[in-house]
Structure formats: C-alpha cells, structure tokens
Chains A and B, each alone.
Chain A
Amino acid sequence: MHWAPPVSFPCPSERKENALLLSLKSLTKTYRTGDKALVSVSLDIPKGQVVALIGPSGAGKSTLIRCINRLVEPTEGQVLLDSVDITELSSSGLRRERRRMGMIFQEYALVERLTVMENVLSGRLGYVGFWRSFLRKYPQSDVDEAFRLLDRVGLLAMADKRADELSGGQRQRVGICRALIQNPSLLLVDEPTASLDPKTSRQIMRLICELCEERGLAAIINIHDVALAQMFVQRVIGLQSGSVRFDGPPTALTPDVLTEIYGEEDWQATIRKDDEEDAEAAVA
C-alpha cells in the first residue's frame, strides 16, 4: 500500500453526546446569473463535531457556509439549527440566531481602523443595544470575557492596538476571539489559513480545534489544504459543483476520492506522507 493513512490529530476527542446540532435539508442556491452554486445539499452535524469542507475553488464551499447564517440567501431547502428553521426567520429572529453562529473569515475581515478590543467586543453586537454599542459602553461581563479570550490567544497586551497594526496570524486570532465572544454553539470558518504561512496556518488550525474542544463547539471549516484538514478534523466533506461527493473520516480519503472531488492529478504528494511532518507539527 503506497498510501499511509494519516494519523488523525485528536482534536475534539471522541464525544459521547451525538445530539443533532445543525441539519441542512436539500439546500440549493442558484445565483441570479443562473449559476448553480449548491445543488440539494443535505448534511447533519452533531454537537461538538469539527468538520472540514474541501473541494476545488468554485465548488460552493463559501456559499454553503454563507447560506447557513444567510449572508447568502438560499434559494431552496432548510437550515435547521437546534430544530429552528433559519430560512424562515424574520430579520430580528435571524439576528438572534446569528449570535449562536460565530464566523471566522478568510483574510480576517477585521474592521481595520478599530482597536483589537473593539473588534473583539463587536462580537457582542447582537446582545447589546445600539446606543450602548455606539458609545462603547459594554457590560463589564463582556469586557472581562474579551480580556479572557485575548489572554487565551496570547494577545492581551495588544488590546488597545489598532487592528491594522497586527500581523496576519495575530489578526486571525482576533477574528477567532470575535467569533467566540458571541458564545456560539457553531463556528463557521471560511478558509481560515488562506493568507497565512504554513507554520501560522497550523497554529491557527490547532487553536480553532482546541477552542472547539474546550467549549464543545461544532465547526464547519472550509479549507483547500487537504493535508491540513486531515491533520485536525474528525470528518471531511468533499464538495464538487455544488453537491456532496464525499462524507467520511479523514482516513477514508483515498487518491480515488480526491480525483473524484478535484479531478485527475497525482495525489501522492498532497496526501500526508510520513511522520516527519508530524514531528514538525509537534514542534510548531
């Protein structure tokens, strides 16, 4: 056998509770141009499970994530979060449910001209009224939680720096804090490592998975780096042309499967080869 099954990094450990958290029922998105981004996608995600979403660019990964919190309006189908149908909600109901879904973005999407602290606290916007947020008068409990989170990701000293003074890895940590302070039960993560170097990418992925573990969060992580995904998650979903082509544990990702998702290519190089990378990961 020329392909060694990857040693799964034990991210959130095997959990007993398998209660359903998120359920997508034949979710479809057709853009106004007629492009079909998602074709009847159905998925179930239990509480606390970390899922990687892989697939070529344009496969609909980003659209799928954005349909869940309706940054993109789905055309058809249902999104059930704890049996609440997100697609049916009015705008105030939607805002309430969005608080339960923290989102982490490609290229961080921090508000560059605000301080780190303001960026983190902006995760509480769904909980505080307009004037409180406008005057930056957040409840002390929110401020304390922001300090705790910043301390957890090692950025407490940066609290009053402006976001555009930070490095890429630091900004993504702030993005993670902003998502976590929402006190979510689900994380939607869109290409968290796309603009980071390989070492920082691993650190960020590990941080996200550790935090999910600590807080028992489920997460859907869009990621194009298959090896990185295999390293950290318990379940991989392969998307191609808007529909699910693979759904299983990372160990089941064979070259055949990857060919089905990405098209013909030599996959030996992509799939993690041996232990040297593990050693590297341990050091990093």
Chain B
Amino acid sequence: MPVEQIADGRKVWQKRNRREQLTHWASWFAGVAVFVYCWQQISESTTWFFVWDAPRIAGDILTRATPPKWFYINELWEPIWDTLNIATLGTLLALCLAVPTAFLAARNTTPSTMIIRPIALLIIVSTRSINSLIWALLLIAIIGPGVFAGVLAIAIRSIGFCAKLLYEAIEEIDQKQVEAITATGASRWQVMAYGIVPQIMPAFAGVAVFRWDINIRESTVLGLVGAGGIGLQLSASLNVLAWPQVSLILIVILLAVILSEWVSAKVRGAII
C-alpha cells in the first residue's frame, strides 16, 4: 500500500498513501484552526495593558511578600491540624463508601448488570467529574461553612476516584482462585472474604495512600470557599493583601505537600 507506482513505472516508498496523507494534513489543519480560534478568544477577553504591566506587578508583590511573617506560624497550627483531619477523615469516609460501590460496579461481582451496575458507574463518574471545591461550595450552601463540610467534600470527591481504581482491580482478579473457594461450598460472603478480598488488598492499600496524598493537597485550598483548613487563613490574608502572611502560608502548604508525598511513597513502598 505505501509503495506506489508512478507514471514512468518506478516505485516510490511513502509512509502513507495518498488518502491517508490527505486526512492526516486535514486533521492537522483543523487542529491548528481550533487552537488559533481559542487563542483569539482568550486574547479578546484579556486586558493586554495589565499583561504588559505584569512583570512590574509581580516584582512589586514579591518585594511586599518578602520576608515572610514568620511568627504568624503560631496562628497556623490549628488550621494545619484541621487540614490534616479533613484529608484523613475524608479519605477514610470515602473508602468506606467506595468499597461497596466498587463491588457493585465490577462486572464480576455486581448483583445485576442491568440496573445496579449502571447506577454504581453513574455514582463513580459524577463524583469523580466534579472538583472537591465545587462539592465544598455545594455543601456549604447546604450545611454551612466549617471543617465538617470540608471532610464531606473531600469524601464525596474521592468516592469516584477510589471506586474506579478498585473496581478495575476487582475485574482483573484471578477468577480461578474464586472458583476454587466456591467449589469448597463457601457462601457468597465467604467467597468474597477468601477469594476476592485478599487479591485486591494491595490495590486497595495503594489507592488509599495515593488518594490521601492528593487529598492533603486539595484540603489546603478548601478554605478558600469556607470549608475549613489552612485555606481560610490564605483567603483572609489575600483579602487584606497581607502578602508576608500569604508567602508564609504558601511555604507551609508547599512543605505539607512535599511531606505527604514522601509519606505516601514510604507507605506504598512498605506495602507492595
């Protein structure tokens, strides 16, 4: 196919034949056109005067933000504790809800593929698609601001994430081990406890730690919408343009993120 015979009988080798080449170039052209359109739209709604002024503003903010207001840290201990709790309790709650959802969603364990599996998949996709900040906004509108709303927001956002990875792990288990346990005369629950659960334990532990790491990051900003944690201080400091406080908070957040990544890497290494 890629070798073509041209008029004088010679053979020419090309990577693609003519049709493929045409569609190839057409799709590139369409892609570039879409990108140019998008760029134009962004450019239209931008005040370029500010952009040209940006280096000066950035420099200005930087001089205001340094040095960080170190002793402000004494007011941050409690928000840091709250942030840790939001992430940890949120992850635990999410796991409690994600495990049954995953079993209902996995093709080999769901009680009914026609009704229950689609519902479980819908729960997974809808909780996963919506960012925890939006969940927090919603929960604050419903139950009021505070750490509790943050825990719930993190938990809801994490259900879909954890359940998706878990149900994929469940669908990949070795079916022969399940068959062997079934053949002993074990009940449905026993088959689950002996045939399936041991096989997905490593995946479960990995998912839990991985998601906890992500949740530490997310819980640092939940306060921006009023859902507790260190983000509350960040938003308060931003509102009064207290840049030295902002820079300290950013340093704390950065440290928390690095620390949580280190912890999760250690724990994952120990489990697997």
Which of A's residues lie within 8 Å of B, judged by CB?
A: 69, 71, 95-99, 101-103, 105, 107, 109-114, 118, 122-127, 130, 133-134, 175, 178, 182, 188
The contact string, 1 if C-beta is below 8 Å from chain A, for chain B 153-195, is 0000000000000000000001011011111111101100111
Task: Answer yes or no: B251 CB below 8 A from chain A CBs.
Answer: no
Can you identify 29 A-B contacts, CB atoms within 8 angstroms? A69-B183, A71-B182, A98-B184, A99-B184, A102-B184, A103-B180, A103-B184, A105-B179, A105-B180, A110-B177, A111-B195, A111-B199, A112-B177, A112-B198, A113-B202, A114-B194, A114-B198, A118-B194, A122-B186, A122-B194, A124-B184, A125-B185, A125-B186, A130-B187, A130-B193, A133-B186, A133-B194, A178-B184, A182-B184
Task: Answer yes or no: B201 CB below 8 A from chain A CBs.
Answer: yes
Q: Which 10 A-B pairs have the closest CB atoms?
A: A126-B185, A125-B186, A98-B185, A109-B180, A99-B185, A103-B183, A109-B176, A113-B198, A95-B185, A125-B190
Q: Evaluate contact between B177 and A125: CB separation under 8 angstroms.
A: no
A113 to B185 alpha-carbon distance, docked (Å): 21
A111 to B194 alpha-carbon distance, docked (Å): 8
- Most chain-A CB neighbours within 10 Å: which of B177, B182, B189, B202? B177
Contacting residues, chain B, for A133 (C-beta < 8 A): 186, 190, 193-194
Contacting residues, chain B, for A71 (C-beta < 8 A): 179, 182-183
Min CB distance B17 to A, Å, is 38
Give the size range of B's interface with the partner: 20 to 34
Min CB distance B111 to A, Å, is 14
Contacting residues, chain B, for A105 (C-beta < 8 A): 176, 179-180
Within 8 A of A (CB), among B222-268: none
Contacting residues, chain A, for B185 (C-beta < 8 A): 95-99, 125-127, 182
Q: Evaluate contact between B176 and A126: CB separation under 8 angstroms.
A: no
